[in-house]
Amino acid sequence: MASQSIQSILDFKTTLLSTTGYTLMLTLVVVMFWFYNRRDRALLTLGIGGVIAAAGTLFSFLNLPLAPWPSLLTVTLLLLMFHPLAWVATRQMFGLKGHWLFGVGSAAAVMLAFALLAGQELYGRRVMVTSGSHTLYWSLILLQFLRERRQATPLGHWLATGLAAVMVLISVSRFGMAWHMGDPAFGQQRGMFNLFTSLALFWVTFCFSLSMLLISYERLLLQLRMQADQDGLTRLLNHRTFQEKAEGAFRRARDHREPLSLLLIDLDHFKSINDRYGHQAGDEVLRQLAECLRSEARHGDLLGRHGGEEFVALLPHAGRIEAYNVADRLRLAIGNLHPRIGEARLDISASIGVASLRPDEHDSLASLFLEADLLLYQAKHNGRNRVEMARAAEPAAAVL
């Protein structure tokens, strides 16, 4: 009696119809988000899948002008298509080819098996065919998320991974139950199981679409934060962000008596490049120099644009000798850069001032900057294209 009461409340078609509105609204939000971020083609693919799935739920409720069997085939195909499209969208989310041919071709193969192996009378077999296809698609989606975990966003990636795992478990349980019970026992004795697992499939796919939307939002947010932290031309840390990160590193090194060094790097005769080749050429030289710094820096070093043609590098756990070696390696790499501007191949060089932390003398990051700046000036004064790490002795005052 209780089972009949629950089943009357949770009539499958009526429940699907009531959730169609949610699906269409979510689809609209996903497509609108794609409209403002068109590089994220995964959202458009999910939107297409949502529209097709919503059409399937509507057609399952309405009486199509078709015989029962062709009508069931149509509805099943429409509901099925979301799953391969979710796999295509997952690949697109990670910048991979969508493999639309496999998605559409596999859906056609599933429907062929649905029609020929199951047929009108064998409900349990129909469930096995659809559940088997769901298991395949969502296993592929789950593996893709696990494989691309290096690209994981803070929340959305792992939420989608968990939902894909739940989809696999639900699909496997439906397949296993239909296999175990067989026809016609599965349709007669497992009505509630089928009802609740079918609804679970619907709601988990609904939540999966939300998680994909969250991934896109998180990526956009991270991109905006990165743009706020970076210099627009060189993509190194801008002055504000470098100062914030360097202050924390300086305090940690000073409190724990750990080595720390600061490098100020300035291109020699940069003004002549702008005067002779123009500011666009100068910008290109700065971009190439920044890329050179990135490729030569150690893991964990902070790199920033200090202003104009001056760059800065903070080297945690680097004492005087190691800092000098890093600086000289950077100087040689810059000298070997030879950036091309049109047909011209430029010879450039840099002067570098190296200041290493002495806790008893450097009470702030500003004092470390001041020493590096004085050493940079000394490198310029002594002929450029050199590294300076020790202050020259002041000349003695003339004796009268």
Pairing type for strands 344-345 and 260-267 reads: unpaired
Choosing from 244, 284, 291, 309, the catalytic residue is 309
- The DSSP symbol for 388 reads E
User: Looking at this protein, which amino acid is placed at residue 83?
Assistant: H
Gap between the Cα atoms of 394 and 361, Å rounded: 19
What b/e string do you get for 142-175 counting C-beta neighbours within 10 Å, with b at 16 or more?
bebbeebeeebbeebbebbbbbbbbbbebbbebb
Over its C-alpha atoms, the chain yields an Rg (Å, rounded) of 32
Longest CA–CA separation in the chain, Å: 118
CA atoms within 13 A on the CB side of 120: 5
Residue 343 annotated in active site: no
Q: What's the rounded Cα separation, in Å, for the pair 138 and 49?
A: 15
Angle, helix 82-93 to helix 191-229, in steps of 10 degrees: 20
Tokens 């031309």 belong to which residue? 233
Tokens of 366: 């500003």
Owner of token pair 């969250």: 214
**Residues with catalytic function:** 309
